[in-house]
A and B are shown apart, each in its own frame.
Chain A
Amino acid sequence: MTPEDGRSNGYIGSLKRRIRIVMLLDAAECAGLVPLAIGHLHFLAYMSNTLAPVWDMPILEGKLLKRQSGPFYPALQRDLDHLVGSGVVSISKLGYLLSEGNRWRLEGSYHLNKTLAAPILVALEQFESEQLLMSFIREMVYAISALSENDFDNAISADATFTDPVIAFGNVLDFGEWRKVNYTANAARQFGHLLPEGTNATLGEELHFYVRHLHRRMHGER
């Protein structure tokens, strides 16, 4: 799948985003992160894009607008709203938030409706590529689940790609379409060779180490 596919507003693009949402919310359930606040869901979606190359997984969206408030994917949000409308995703803690650009945005926390989501997850598991994607997303969310609520809110402020000083807020952060500079994936991969005594880190360790280093940087370390 190319980033263009994922970006598309067509049926296939929308389907892929909905699958990604279901997988992210399922992983959040396994990790103990539900109900998942809207900002956290978009952060997880962003991390699933930037970290995807570490596991040789497809990037769904290779670029996004760099906003002060963190990642937000309008198309993903539309698909999330559709999933709420169809009952696959449930929303709680509903409210409104004044967002960037002085616009009101729906705020809420999400979790899967198990009855309706279970057949989707079972169907996805029939495909090896989707199984691998689910494994990646689950491990990534497990790693992120170790953060405190406050650190989860602020993790983007330490991410290697998002904090690229070359890209100012309001500009497009491109890590997987034209520019292909993905500092997040580069850092995670780098961990693979840094264990003592010649041990190679596993793909799982690379994700957990990246999140642990995010944590260190949020708390003032290099």
Chain B
Amino acid sequence: MANDSPNTPSLGPWTGADLSGTARANMGLGADYELPLHVRFIAGAAKLIRKRRAITNGKTDAIEPAIFLLQPTPPDLGAPARRVPMLDNGLTPLTGRLWFVNAVVNVGKYIELSGEEDDELFRRIAEDFRLGDVQAIVFDPRAESIEIRYYPRGLQNPDICELISVSGTDISLDGIFAAIDRIHQNCFVTPDAQSLSGKLRLWKDSSKWLPSSDAEAIIQMNLKAGLTTAFPTCTVRHEQPQVSGRLDLEIEESDPLDCGHITRHAILELKVLRSFSETGTPVPSEKTLDDVTSGVQQAAAYRDEKCARASALCCFDMRREPSGETCFKHIRNTAKDTCVRLRLWFIFATSKLYRATLVPLGLQEH
């Protein structure tokens, strides 16, 4: 059980401590520290709900909604809210309660709900408690599918709501690609879609097709946040060191009853294809093809090393002329043989170019 080796710096009074037991029991806790708070809130609540359901098999808790508000300190509610430390251990019933939590959802304070209808409950939170604008998550155990409803603008805006599955099953590459499609559309497709500012912009100079030198890292962090939102019971890790190199993204999921038991759903290798470097130096097409080839090899090697279920090469094409998936032509057979899926998303330098591609498809925006 001891985790000390001759090269381990001294742990003083903790020498011989079962640190690996602690790490295993809490795997994933704080792994998302770089993500936006709302993403952590969704992931924290989803993992907690999944764990609680696994512990109780969904049977012993009240068949009433659980409401989580991203407000760790409750206002004066007339009655004291009860504090539950280490809420994430899943040992406390969640349903039939209004929870005040932080973004990590590792501690919470709650008051009991009194069986009101949803409308009455939302009104009470918005009007009586004046918390209608606080980000909220509702889990309703009465629903057929196991999902949460996330209200980014609070319960006073019930129509602005995202349904997110927390069943944690069947996370396939098709599902992952669909999630990336949404992230691409919302964050990358054109400079206008990129709400990123300053050093986080994908383009250094979009009028000259000059991508930022950080484009790959920016795409990686956006995908990490977006995939965590889409699959909130999973942990998305980036830049994990391997014997064969550093993988870009992996999507793993802990067994809710044994956090150290991991299912690795997918390894994603990311490549940004460029016409020019940030300084304007042309990038030869051979370099692009070499990048694609090495991307397929990396995706296969990392998947095998990690015993992941699937792997894919995800290319983000920032080149001047969109040439579709022709950049995969030379490697398609190898990818098929090594079971590496290939996908490409085009990132347009201007919104005008993007609109021009929509017209022949009859998809122009209104």
Asked whether, in the complex, the Cβ of B33 is within 8 Å of the Cβ of A189, the reply is no
Nearest A residue (CB) for B101:
A32
Asked whether, in the complex, the Cβ of A160 is within 8 Å of the Cβ of B26, the reply is no
Asked whether, in the complex, the Cβ of A213 is within 8 Å of the Cβ of B3, the reply is no
* Contact digits for B50-84, partner A, Cβ 8 Å, 1 yes 0 no: 00000000000000000000001100000000010
> B17, B18, B34, B107: which contacts A32 (Cβ < 8 A)?
B107
Asked whether, in the complex, the Cβ of B3 is within 8 Å of the Cβ of A194, the reply is yes
> A149, A181, A197, A217: which contacts B17 (Cβ < 8 A)?
A217
Asked whether, in the complex, the Cβ of A190 is within 8 Å of the Cβ of B31, the reply is no
Chain B neighbourhood of A208, CB < 8 A:
26, 29-30, 106
Chain B neighbourhood of A32, CB < 8 A:
72-73, 100-102, 107, 109
User: Knowing A200-B240, A204-B30 touch, does A146 contact B106 (C-beta < 8 A)?
Assistant: yes
Chain A neighbourhood of B17, CB < 8 A:
187, 213, 217, 222
Q: How far is the CB of B304 from chain A (nearest CB, A)?
A: 13
Q: Does B11 contact A (CB under 8 A)?
A: yes
- Interface positions, chain B 76-106, Cβ under 8 Å from A, are 83, 85-88, 100-104, 106
- Interface positions, chain A 163-222, Cβ under 8 Å from B, are 163-165, 181, 183, 186-187, 189-191, 194-209, 212-213, 215-217, 221-222
Q: How far is the CB of B281 from chain A (nearest CB, A)?
A: 28
Asked whether, in the complex, the Cβ of B19 is within 8 Å of the Cβ of A209, the reply is yes
Chain A neighbourhood of B171, CB < 8 A:
none
Chain B neighbourhood of A149, CB < 8 A:
83, 85
Residue total for B at the interface (Cβ-Cβ under 8 A): 52
Q: Does B362 contact A (CB under 8 A)?
A: no
Q: Does A161 contact B (CB under 8 A)?
A: yes
Q: Does B114 contact A (CB under 8 A)?
A: no
Q: How far is the CB of B8 from chain A (nearest CB, A)?
A: 6
Interface residues of B (CB under 8 A from A): 1, 3, 8-14, 16-20, 22-34, 72-73, 83, 85-88, 100-104, 106-107, 109, 237, 240-242, 252, 260-262, 306-307
- Of the A-B pairs whose beta carbons lie under 8 Å apart in the complex, a sample of 15, sorted by A's number, is A32-B100, A33-B72, A142-B106, A149-B85, A181-B12, A183-B12, A186-B9, A199-B27, A204-B33, A205-B27, A205-B29, A209-B22, A212-B25, A213-B19, A221-B18
